[in-house]
Structure 1
Amino acid sequence: MTVDPWRDRARRALATRLRENLPTDSRPHYVICGSDPLIYTIAEELAGHRVRVTAVVPPRMRADVPDLAALRGVRVLRAERLDERTFKAAGLEGAHALALVNPDDVGNIHAALCAQEVESGLRLVMRMFNPSLGNGVKQLFADCTVLSDAAMAAPAFVAASLGELTPTYFRHAGRTLTLVRRSEARPEHVVCVLDAGERGVLPPDGTPAAPTDLVLAEAAGRTPGMDVAARRIVRHRRRRKPLLALGSALRAALNRKLGVAVLVTLVVTLVSGTILAQADPVDGFWESIYVTLLTAVGSSDVEMERNHLAQASQLALTISGLALLPLITAAVVEGVVNARLALASGRVRTPREDHVVVVGLGNVGTRVIRQLTDLGIEVVAIDRKAQPLGAKTAEELGVPLIVGDAALQETLRSASVDTCQALVVVSTDDVTNLQAALNARAVREDLRVVLRLFDGDFALRVQRAFNLGVSRSVSYLAAPAFAAALLDRHMIATIPVDRHALLVTEVTVQDGAPLAGRPLRAAGEPGRVRVLGLTPHGSTTMSWLPNPAHVLRPGDRLAVVARRVGLRTLAERAATPPPPVDGSPAA
């Protein structure tokens, strides 16, 4: 007989609480550790699943993180370090799973090792930015899921910046599905409508179709959307204009003080040479130039028979000639160095068209510039720091990095924002992002702006008030996948649609569940849940066109696409009702 490791841990934790005369609670317990908005969004996801959540946060949280204590069923524990003592205080013994979502790869690994000392065999869900490091971490722990919020959110920003759908593919039950517009898919390949514009997300069956509807369709062969993407890649190849770029480099290479010194020396040389030529006439223009230059480089003899004006001019010419050569050498050397630095750092405003300006080279910004570059799109990056997280990636990809404040129009103009196709602002500060977006619109009114904002309500109000285009929330897009991994739910894909994150997942009907004995049509909910297919109990084959009248039995698996609230409700209806808590009757 196989023993469920979580149930065994739960029994031991319950026995400990009874032995110590502590209140008992049989609900599953999850511990999440983090310090940025992602921990709030994950806790919000879990709060509606009738579970206990302990959020371990630093004593001083970031200002943009809402109050976790306001969420139902969430206990907040503040701690300086994530060590064995902290995990014991959080009740990790007997916990169902642990999520480590701090924006620090090494710190999360260290915390995971400490957690294993408290509760061995614990399911771990870890946030990692470095993919190679994440693959290695999986080998250290028996039950570990490694996720990257930046990798999950970046495609949504890329798609919004291009103003088109980028292919979203996933494979399930023998079919490869993709997100396209209805006009780009054959009717027989359409699985369901995801977004019908003003008619809503996940509309009910029978809703009139429109060519602009976003649909989930089977990717059979080469689709029109792939042709559009191919044309876009060719159209936005980097347009090189060497002469104009050289002129920009020369302007960046000029040093004002050195230029003034060279100019004064040249004027003295010209005036002195003219006077000398008039005082001691020579035959022809060439001989005048010859005598002047020869004297300027110091190859002149003392001429006592000349008048005082000619002697003074010769003296000035000789002295200026001695200064001219070092100044010219210094100007050439400094100009070459400045030009190379300017080209490397992106301070040179070379003429660009149809490029994408990305503000913020953190985890998300680095992923965005890499994906845009893979699509053949020219990118210019802006960051306050001289060496941001993605500086090395930008250098490898040949992406110019402009160091400056994106909230200033001067910085935006240096990135040729007036001729770019889109501005993607993905720094971690909502205020800075909004300032950059508004200033970019002041430079160019019709600019497409993709804005990263955490607060969903604030983002919608900003979008309506300022008409800033598209806003995205990284934590909102990534949190469902982290919550699904914690709940041990099979998440197939996450599809961003407008500001919604549609989740494709499987839900299993359990013994005693409210859905057991109900027809399949009862599992769907217009606007929230759409059933894609059914795998009956005891079968390994999924039916993509199940009978809506099929009576659900325990063990039946439903493949669904749903919004977060809809999936939460469906999971509760498909799960075994929880036992009474603290002796109270079951709901």
Structure 2
Amino acid sequence: MHQAAQPQVLLDQFLVCGLGGLGQHCVVALKQFEVSVIAIDKKPPEDWEIPHLENLLDTLVIGDCRQIDVLQQAKIQQCRAAIIVTSSEQVNAETALAVRKLNPKTRLVIRSSKKNLNELLSEHLGNFVAFEPTQLPAPAFALAALGTETLGLFHLEGQWLQVVKRTLSPTDRWCNRQLLHELNTHKRHILYHTSSATSSFKAFHKWEPDTRLMPGDTIVYIEAIKPTSTDSQKLVKNTWYNPWHLLTRLKHLNWLTIKQQVTQFLRKPDQNRFKQVGIICGVIVGVLLLLGTVLYRLTYPKMGLIDAFLTSTMLLLGGFGDLFGGFNFTLPVPFWLRLISLGMTITGTILVGVFYSFLTERLLAARFQLNKRRPPVPQKDHVVVVGLGRMGQGIAEILQEFNQPLVGITLNTDFDMTVLPKMPLITGSLKRFLSKANLQTAKSVVVVTDDEMLNLEVSLMAYDANPESNLVIRTTGLSLSDNLAELLPNAQVLCVYALVAEAFAGAAFGENIINLFRINHKTILVTEYQIEGGDTLNGLLLSEVAYGYGVVPILYQKETGMAKLMPSEDISLAVGDRMIVLATSDGLQRIEQGTTITTSKTWQVHITRALTEEAQFEGANVLVRISGCSLNTARTVMKNLPQTLHLPLYKHQAQRLIIELSKAQVIAHLLPTNSL
């Protein structure tokens, strides 16, 4: 793993099996590491998704990647890793077995969603890792859907970590008060700072520690958090059952609002069919009940109002025979009244039949949903997730983890109704489910079906329904992504293959890619390293790893110790240690090749004086701890003040040394090496 002391091993030859969309993006990601790439495909692609990609390939072999002779033609014996990403998981597994038969040392990175099979293959084949492209980028889609300042979200050692982008307002508690380096704590670390709205993220550590934060500044930082719900994230409950809200509605009720609600109600016959039938039946029953009561009361003045009402009720419930079944009447009943009574009985019988059928339909529907009754669709500030495949379900799970109101939509008639039982769910025709999802008041719409044309159609419909919503669209091709970005400039169009290709490429070098997120269109990989003998990282301080390779260590664990989040930069790496860093593909490339950013290690610290003898002693310890110099060198420097520590340091490292020396009552300042 990223060892520089064995030139006889071919480190720069990699094999990509399958040149579909994902395979082509993997080729591009590998070439960023300046390595040799060989590809296998059954036939030459008719249309290259990435223009001129064939020029990036050192060799293109046409054939079945499962065949031994094809793999030998691709020089598998000399390949450091094989990225197997055909569209068939069976082909991927068979190819992995064939590769391992020919080369027991080749790193295997395959595309597969079979979790149990992946574990078995990893156990029996070794040096093996599997990814599912639709699951790995789910956090990126979920964060885009939230429409908040959170850029990244992942789980490490039982702790949630989030990456936050924050633009400071004049009333912000950090404005005009704190320096950038003061924000770094054991739970938070600064990744990026800019005072320009047009500045874009290119690399870590490009900020000045002693910068005072001002209104309008933008910072990106990572911090450990505990997920909590906020008022804006709580599920919106049905306000009809809130008595105070009901009184408010009644208070503002007038003829205009009634007319508007009735018109809106009648314009949606598909959604309100049963309600409309019930209302019509209720109106007819009320009219007949009132008519019968009035007629019997006027015909028989001695009959009480209650008796007239009960007589009408009896007729509506089919009591004509009970009332007029005999020949001896206590009261003479005119023929016209009998005719009206018969009509009331017939109408009442029909309405009762309709009511029974309506009730039966409701009971049957409830019968199938009794065990897993889902909550109602939120009324506003919710996220609509269209497409509940593996990616959609992963997005919904993350949103539920942080109590974000949402509703899932699926066109799959075979969808497993036991999945995500606490999430509101809508099924049915395209137009119907979009109208039922309250798109007009939704905060975000996430379109992640497996059909790109359906994603396009749904996205345009969602935009027409609510142009102000935060629209997040899944694509697999760059051309569609670019065209959609122009058509819907405010939408976030995420190309799945472009997102995960860097993870596949990083894994090909033997690293464990845990997660990924984006900062200003730059993919950041959460990468795990295990320090081995002969490793280029062995013996380095974390500060040297961070500033030398342009990465951010966020977790350190000694072989037999506890894991530490946001570890001290003074820790020295040793064999067996575990480290997790945030890195761009450039950072991974530098670690892989063992090439540090030497141009930034151009600073020294000039120490003027120590205020006390104790400060002189403690200052030497600080020099050893932060700069990595020997104790003898540190003691010599501190005994001969003023003196310069003749050891090139990275700027952040040198500035931190000055800050820690000042805490120990030692005065020092920064010098560029070319000034000496």
The question of a shared fold, defined as TM-score above 0.5 by the shorter chain, is answered with: yes
CA distance in 2, matches of 1:125, 1:419: 43
2:380 match:
353
User: Cα distance 1:65–1:360, how it changes in 2: closer, same or farther (>3 A)?
Assistant: farther
Give the CA deviation at 1:369: 0.3
Query: Alignment partner for residue 379 of structure 1, among 406, 412, 418?
Result: 406
- Name the counterpart of 2:493: 471
1:309 and 1:60 mapped to 2: Cα distance? 86
Matching residue within 241, 251, 256 for 2:238: 241
Structure 1 pair 114/273, CA: closer, same or farther in 2 (3 Å)?
Answer: farther
Q: Deviations over 1:376-408 (max 9, x none)?
A: 1121112332335x76433x3333234443xx5
Asked if structure 1 preserves the Cα contact closer than 8 Å seen for 2:471 and 2:490, the reply is yes
| C-alpha distance 348-64 of structure 1, shift in aligned 2 (>3 A) | farther
Task: Name 2:132's counterpart in structure 1.
Answer: 148
Question: Which TM-score applies when normalising by structure 1?
Answer: 0.67
CA distance in 1, matches of 2:411, 2:51: 26
Alignment of 1:447-526 (within 5 A): 447-455=469-477, 459=481, 462-463=484-485, 466-489=488-511, 491=513, 494-503=516-525
Moved more, 440-449 or 101-110: 101-110
Q: Partners in 2 of 1:164 and 1:562 — Cα distance?
A: 20
Larger deviation: 114-123 or 414-423? 114-123
Q: Is the 8 A contact 1:194 1:215 kept in 2?
A: yes
The one of 216, 228, 231 aligned to 1:230: 228
What's the CA shift string for 1:63-117, capped at 9, x where partnerless? 97878645432526465x9576876776656644333335665664455456556
Q: Tell me, in whole angstroms, the C-alpha distance in 1 between the residues paired with 2:339 and 2:75.
A: 93
Q: Is the 8 A contact 2:18 2:84 kept in 1?
A: yes
Q: Of residues 384, 393, 398 in structure 1, which corresponds to 2:423?
A: 398
| Residues 461-500 of structure 1 deviation map (CA, whole Å, 9 limit, x = unaligned) | 7546643143323222221221122232465764421321
Matching residue within 564, 567, 571 for 2:585? 564
Number of the residue aligned with 1:424 = 446
Q: What residue in structure 2 maps to residue 50 of structure 1?
A: 35
Spell out, residue by residue over 1:286-330, the C-alpha distance to the aligned partner (whole angstroms, 9 max, x if none): 333333444423434055986654454454445445444433211
**1:23 maps to which residue?**
none
Instruction: Tell me: CA distance 1:451–1:302, structure 2 relative to 1, closer, same or farther (3 Å).
Output: same
Counterpart in the other structure of 2:623: none
Q: Secondary structure at the match of 2:150?
A: coil
Q: CA deviation at 1:370?
A: 0.3
Structure 1 residue 169: deviation in Å? 6.0
Partner of 1:39: 23
- 1:200 and 2:200 aligned: yes
Of residues 164, 176, 179, the one that matches 2:163 is: 179
Query: Aligned to 1:129, what secondary structure does the other structure show?
Result: coil
Q: 1:301 to 1:401 in 2, by over 3 A?
A: same
Q: Secondary structure at the match of 1:193?
A: strand
What is the SS of the residue equivalent to 1:385? coil
Higher gyration radius (CA): 2
C-alpha contact (below 8 Å) 1:177/1:216 kept by paired residues: no
The 8 Å contact of residues 509 and 592 in structure 2, kept in 1 or not, is answered as no
- SS class of match (2:137): helix
- 1:307-322 equivalences under 5 Å are 308-322=335-349
Output aligned runs, 1:429-444, within 5 Å. 429-444=451-466
Q: Structure 2 stretches of 5 or more lacking a match?
A: 1-5, 167-173, 175-179, 247-260, 537-542, 554-559, 562-566, 573-577, 597-676
Aligned length: 514
Q: Which deviates more from structure 2 when the two are superposed, residues 111-120 or residues 379-388?
A: 111-120
2:153–2:160 CA contact under 8 A, matched in 1? no
Q: Does residue 301 in structure 1 map to residue 325 in structure 2?
A: yes
Q: 1:560 to 1:301 in 2, by over 3 A?
A: closer
Pairwise CA distance, 1:562: 4.9
* Cα distance, 1:441–1:264 mapped onto 2, change above 3 Å: closer
1:396-455 deviation line (CA, Å, top 9, x unaligned): 3333234443xx5x6434212222222222234555445444443433343222333445
Q: 1:185 and 1:401 mapped to 2: Cα distance? A: 49
Cα shift at 1:371: 0.6
Shift of 1:235: 4.0
**CA offset at residue 168 of structure 1?**
4.3
Q: What's 2:311 paired with?
A: 291
User: C-alpha distance in 2, partners of 1:292/1:170?
Assistant: 68
Q: For the structure 1 residues 191 and 313, does the alpha-carbon distance in structure 2 shift closer, same or farther, using more than 3 Å as the test?
A: closer
Distance 1:448 1:126, change over 3 A: same
Q: Deviations over 1:242-263 (max 9, x none)?
A: 6369999x99574489659957
Match of 2:149 in 1: 164
Alpha-carbon spacing, 1:455–1:112, altered in 2? closer, same or farther (3 Å): closer
Partner of 1:369 in structure 2? 396
Provide Cα deviations, 1:524-564, integer angstroms capped at 9, x if missing partner. Answer: 89xxx62558xxxxxx99994799xxxxxxxxx99986543
Please state whether the residue corresponding to 1:449 is helix, strand or coil.
strand
- Look up the match of 1:14: none
The one-letter code matched in structure 2 to 1:301 is G
Q: State the AA in 2 paired with 1:50.
A: V
State the distance in 2 between where 1:424 and 1:91 align.
Answer: 43
- Asked if structure 1 preserves the Cα contact closer than 8 Å seen for 2:135 and 2:391, the reply is yes
Q: For residues 343-388 of structure 1, what are the alpha-carbon distances to aligned partners after superposition, in whole Å with 9 as ceiling and x for unaligned?
A: 9999997552322111222222111100110111121112332335
- Decide whether the 8 Å contact of 2:152 with 2:517 is kept in 1: no
Q: Distance in 2 between matches of 1:522 and 1:330?
A: 73
| Aligned residue in 2 for 1:580 | none
TM-score under structure 2 normalisation?
Answer: 0.59
CA contact (8 A) 2:443 2:469 kept: yes
Compared CA separation, residues 315 and 465, structure 1 to 2 (3 A): closer
1:342, distance to aligned residue in structure 2 (A): 9.9
SS in 2 for 1:126: strand
Question: Against the structure 1 CA distance between its residues 53 and 316, is the aligned structure 2 distance closer, same or farther, given a 3 Å change threshold?
Answer: same
Cα distance in structure 2, aligned partners of 1:347 and 1:491: 36
Matched, 1:73 2:62: no
Matched letter for residue 362 of structure 1: G
- One-letter amino acid matched to 1:288: A
Distance in 2 separating the partners of 1:279 and 1:302? 23
Q: Please give the root-mean-square deviation of Cα atoms over the aligned residues, in Å.
A: 5.6
Kindly state the Cα deviation for residue 568 of structure 1 after the two structures are TM-superposed.
4.4
Tell me what 1:516 maps to.
Answer: none
Give the partner amino acid of 2:434: L
Paired residue secondary structure (2:439): coil
Asked if the contact 1:253–1:335 (Cα under 8 Å) also holds between the matched residues in 2, the reply is no
* TM alignment of 1:538-577, pairs within 5 A: 544=569, 562-564=583-585, 567-568=588-589, 571=592, 574=595
